[in-house]
Structure 1
């Protein structure tokens, strides 16, 4: 009998592989993997431990085109970690990587199938549900607060339309909605012959080197102005983004670009009217990914009966959560905190 229980305990341990990453005087950070079928999804949990008796509200952060650690737990001398800043506000912060990002595994996508949407919103929603179910498994009846940035906002919104019963509050930052309107990437992603079709010669897997990741910060005519181009934040961002394989390349499923192209040209993969939870929509005034019409249309199509709020943050850009110099991140955290705790 002792042997049987030992085996069961061992199997339980390897099914959710938990590895402590860091235990500082101020924060406890734990990294583990959640199983979704054959896939392993990387999750990192961050809590502050100075006010350990304070009730911590769970929030799950869903990344966009760059992974969760690169986006939300960046290490710099000035501590640009958005996750740690949220934990200081009293949240139990979970960061997750969708399949194929950073240390999350991915299916063996056929690279020659250029019609494929690798890492579709349906796949992303399944991954989010696996992580949400894991977080809530010891809290029956509880719900998760869900934050999605850029494409992560698309994924989180679609997930919520399927699982309103598991979401407490939905917060979306700098995300597209299915509205036909000019978009900065239309020409780059469109088919050379038919501008209304995605260019299927674009690789199934996106690959970017460190310099390309630095160049992202200069995208558009209204690029982030509060974060200097030679700053430690940008350098750390680029270096971290390409650090998850021996080739030193950001290698991720490219389907999000295809879905984003079609959304920007009016296709809806989900409808805001199907969201039934309190929803906060935020857009940086200078964001290059989303457009003002996305914020307005998304907000207007949310049901009238739910708590809903929209905010445009002046002078803020795409990487608002990393803006530790222009107070963008501080304003973002205040907005999230007020909405989740007080519906304000």
Structure 2
């Protein structure tokens, strides 16, 4: 009986940064032969890839679910995240540098991973899935290298469809002297994140009092542990915190006030936009604007799982996870 296997390795970018990648696939899956499209899974603003896509508990691994459907999955950590090289500035105080690792720079990390995928799987084109600002990143990549991309899955994307993102009101992301600029003086190059920071956002997005009825507590525990494991310095601070570059946060600010950091009319492949009805990050106007701008895409589909959160792919199967995974695998096929 075949089983899912994992391989952790590193690739080197054009500017000599070592990027950690996890591959998840079927043990007896075909290699360098006809197969289903391999897919790259790109993380979002604050967290390394494994914490979003490959938790070692039941219903905690999106990569495993895709592998079982026949799609070899590759999960990179962008520079500054997880087990990838960190900029030297992340060993200095945050205020000593400007926001590190913005999306356009991270396209180098995606490209190094894509090249490894093409070589390992014997394909010309691959699929990309990006979560949150990770969706902005893969839009950029598909615009730069259309010949390498067959499918894009934009999962809860932010695109510049509105000028006043409600999540950022009172968050201090804007420069108090100029509200159209990111508050670099406050945030600096990188951030220290408490382990419960994202769990609190997840809890607040679940519309019932008993969060365990919506999200398996084992998944939540594994998520927090993966955040801790993603930074070797986490437990050296009290309370424990993990570091993340602030480049994607700066990008999200500009998109949130209506700036399009990439224009979707440059994308040529097939595109699926997924936005949970209850998502606090992606807005209906982002989806609408994407649909208007994807004029050169081969196909454009939108899927809005009803009563589903920003974390729908990690929620319980009956809370939208199964339906969303089924729609993604149908699209990839």
Tell me if TM exceeds 0.5.
yes
Q: Distance in 2 between matches of 1:223 and 1:64?
A: 25
Cα deviation, residue 315, structure 1: 1.0
In structure 1, the residue matched to 2:182 is: 198
Aligned pair 1:211/2:196, yes or no? yes
Cα deviation, residue 191, structure 1: 2.6
Query: Matches of residues 290-329 of structure 1 in structure 2 within 5 Å?
Result: 290-303=282-295, 306-329=298-321
Query: Matches of residues 59-70 of structure 1 in structure 2 within 5 Å?
Result: 59-65=39-45, 66-70=47-51
The structure having more radius of gyration, on CA atoms, is: 1
- The structure-2 alpha-carbon separation of the partners of 1:88 and 1:158, relative to structure 1 and needing over 3 Å to count, comes to same
- The structure-2 alpha-carbon separation of the partners of 1:330 and 1:126, relative to structure 1 and needing over 3 Å to count, comes to same
In structure 1, the residue matched to 2:163 is: 181
Contact 2:99/2:190 (8 A) holds in 1: no
Deviations, residues 18-77 of structure 1 (Å, cap 9, x unaligned)? xxxxxx96211111000113311011111123776993431111011311110000122x
Query: Any gaps of 5 or more consecutive residues in structure 2?
Result: 236-240
In structure 1, the residue matched to 2:25 is: 47
Cα deviation, residue 214, structure 1: 2.3
Cα deviation, residue 222, structure 1: 6.2
Contact 1:63/1:71 (8 A) holds in 2: yes
In structure 1, the residue matched to 2:281 is: 289
Aligned pair 1:167/2:144, yes or no? no
Tell which has more relative contact order, 1 or 2 (C-alpha 8 A, sep 6+): 2
- The structure-2 alpha-carbon separation of the partners of 1:271 and 1:325, relative to structure 1 and needing over 3 Å to count, comes to same
Contact 2:227/2:242 (8 A) holds in 1: yes
Contact 1:226/1:325 (8 A) holds in 2: no
In structure 1, the residue matched to 2:258 is: 266
- The structure-2 alpha-carbon separation of the partners of 1:136 and 1:178, relative to structure 1 and needing over 3 Å to count, comes to same
Q: Distance in 1 between matches of 2:81 and 2:149?
A: 23
In structure 2, the residue matched to 1:242 is: 228
Q: Distance in 2 between matches of 1:187 and 1:299?
A: 30
Aligned pair 1:99/2:79, yes or no? yes
In structure 2, the residue matched to 1:89 is: 69
Q: Distance in 2 between matches of 1:199 and 1:223?
A: 34
- Give 3-state SS (helix, strand or coil) of 2:137's partner: helix
Cα deviation, residue 247, structure 1: 2.6
Q: Distance in 2 between matches of 1:227 and 1:124?
A: 37
Cα deviation, residue 85, structure 1: 0.8
Cα deviation, residue 156, structure 1: 0.5
Cα deviation, residue 125, structure 1: 0.6
Contact 2:194/2:242 (8 A) holds in 1: yes
TM-score (ref. length: structure 1): 0.84
Query: Any gaps of 5 or more consecutive residues in structure 1?
Result: 1-23
Which among 116, 140, 144 is matched to residue 134 of structure 1? 116
Contact 2:156/2:282 (8 A) holds in 1: yes
Contact 2:38/2:121 (8 A) holds in 1: no
Aligned length: 317
